[in-house]
Amino acid sequence: MVSKIFSLLQFFTLFTITFAFTEEATALLKWKATFKNQNNSLLVSWKPSSDACNGWYGVSCINGRVNRLNITNASIGNLTNLIYLDLSMNQISGTIPPEIGSLARLQTLHIFDNHLNGSIPEEIGYLRSLTELALSTNSLNGSIPASLGNLNNLSYLFPNENHLSGCIPAEMGKLVNLVEAYLEKNQLTGHIPPEIGDLTNAKVFYAFSNELFGPIPAEIGKMKSLQNLSLHTNNLSGLIPKTIGNLTKLKLLYLHANQLFGPIPSELGKLKKLNHLLLFDNQLSDPIPSELGDLKKLNDLVLYNNQLSGHIPYELGNLKKLNDLVLYDNQFSGPIPSELGNLKNLNYLELSNNQHNGPIPSSFGNLRNLQILVLHENNLIEEIPSSICNLTSLTVLYLSRSILKGKILQCLGNISGLQNVMMSHNNLSGELPSSICNLNHCKFLIWVETI
């Protein structure tokens, strides 16, 4: 095996394997220990308790520190039987040589977390036995080669966190055995090809933080094994396809920070396993469909900075697992539904910058886990309900810029963890309770005169 690994390194003639200053003989011995054949004639010089700088094959030192490891052409023999190669996390620089295509039996190729640059050679498409290809966290550029589509057995694909550009090749749709695809944090552009819908075994598809544009293809609804779908932080536009409602195994749907518009499809209410729904920073409009109240497993519903309107459906009060409900910077109107007081697990509720009228529901006193309550810039009326004082977990309470009236609640002084309070620009009267913020918890307390 070792001769095969060495032969591979022969292919990698463009690589200069330079260990970090602190990496020493132990690192080399650790690496050697992973080789199947410890008796390779060249490696017998690599012995514990000996000086790596003094006679170890292929090792060069500067000032007693290993600085260069050159095992180029150290051995002969072809690599055609190599099935596993992992050179990850070694600060390897250089390019992936096209000769990689000769490793016809290779099933696993991991070269993540190195300093590789240049492009992914199209010869990678000859590695027909490959099941895992991990190239993440390098500086690879150029496009994802279409030949990748030939890798019928590929299950795990990690070209993420490089500088890859160009389109997602339509040929990726041929990877019917793909289970997890991570394309995120590159500079991929163009449309998401509809062929992606053929990845019916994919559980994870991540393409966030790229430069993708155009619509999300309706065919995405055919990826029936999908659990995690993340396309956020791109330039995708158009409607959220209704067919996403067919992805009934979905747990995570991140489409935020795009240019999506139109309504949130009511079909999303079919995603009964959904834990995380993030659609913020788009241009979505119309009311929230009441069907979202069927997402009983939802932990996060984050829809801020859209153009959503109408009443918040009272059905959201059924989302008993919800931790975060974040709906600020929209055009919601009407009263805040008192049913939201049923969300016993809520930590964070923000409805600011909408057009809610009506009172703050007294049912909010039931939100015993609430830490952050932000309702400022609405048209909320009447008195602040005294039940708010039951929210003993509260740290942030922002109620400014509405038309609240009455006396400032003295019982707020009993919420010992309260750190930030804003109530200005209302019709409130009275004094700040003397006990408020008396426990050195206060970082920031603004109590502007009432208007």
Interface ranges with ligand NAG (CB under 6 A): 37, 39, 70, 72-73, 76, 78, 95, 117-119, 128-129, 141-142, 153, 203-204, 211, 213, 221, 227-228, 235, 237, 242-243, 245-246, 251-252, 259, 267, 362, 365, 387, 389-390, 410-411, 414
Judge contact between 204 and 189, C-beta under 8 A. no
Of residues 204 and 380, the one with the C-beta less far from ligand NAG: 204
Residue 364: exposed, middle, or buried by beta-carbon count in 10 A (0-12, 13-18, 19+)? buried
Of residues 125 and 354, the one with the C-beta less far from ligand NAG: 125
Report how far residue 337's alpha carbon sits from residue 315's, in angstroms, rounded to the nearest whole number.
9
Q: 10 Å Cβ neighbour count for 77?
A: 11
Q: Take residue 76 and report the two structure tokens written for it.
A: 């002969």
Rounded to a whole number of angstroms, the minimum distance from the CB of residue 192 to ligand NAG is 14
Rounded to a whole number of angstroms, the minimum distance from the CB of residue 355 to ligand NAG is 26
Rounded to a whole number of angstroms, the minimum distance from the CB of residue 148 to ligand NAG is 14
Rounded to a whole number of angstroms, the minimum distance from the CB of residue 172 to ligand NAG is 18
The sign of the dihedral angle between the CA atoms of 414, 415, 417, 422 is negative
Of residues 309 and 414, the one with the C-beta less far from ligand NAG: 414
Report residue 293: phi and psi, to 5°.
-65, -10
Rounded to a whole number of angstroms, the minimum distance from the CB of residue 203 to ligand NAG is 6
Of residues 43 and 374, the one with the C-beta less far from ligand NAG: 43
Residues in the chain: 451
Of residues 110 and 270, the one with the C-beta less far from ligand NAG: 270
Q: Take residue 258 and report the two structure tokens written for it.
A: 């795009």
Report how far residue 77's alpha carbon sits from residue 6's, in angstroms, rounded to the nearest whole number.
9
Of residues 22 and 39, the one with the C-beta less far from ligand NAG: 39
- List of residues 6+ apart from 310 with CB closer than 8 A: 286, 287, 288, 332, 333, 334
Of residues 119 and 378, the one with the C-beta less far from ligand NAG: 119
Of residues 117 and 347, the one with the C-beta less far from ligand NAG: 117
Strand segments, DSSP code E, in 23-175 are 59-62, 65-69, 84-86, 92-94, 108-110, 115-116, 132-134, 156-158
Rounded to a whole number of angstroms, the minimum distance from the CB of residue 227 to ligand NAG is 6
Report residue 44: phi and psi, to 5°.
-60, -20
- Given the structure tokens 């991140």, which residue do they identify? 254
Rounded to a whole number of angstroms, the minimum distance from the CB of residue 47 to ligand NAG is 13
Judge contact between 245 and 269, C-beta under 8 A. yes
Nearest to 111, CA basis, from 127, 133, 129: 133
Of residues 112 and 332, the one with the C-beta less far from ligand NAG: 112
Judge contact between 28 and 52, C-beta under 8 A. yes
Rounded to a whole number of angstroms, the minimum distance from the CB of residue 377 to ligand NAG is 25
Rounded to a whole number of angstroms, the minimum distance from the CB of residue 333 to ligand NAG is 26
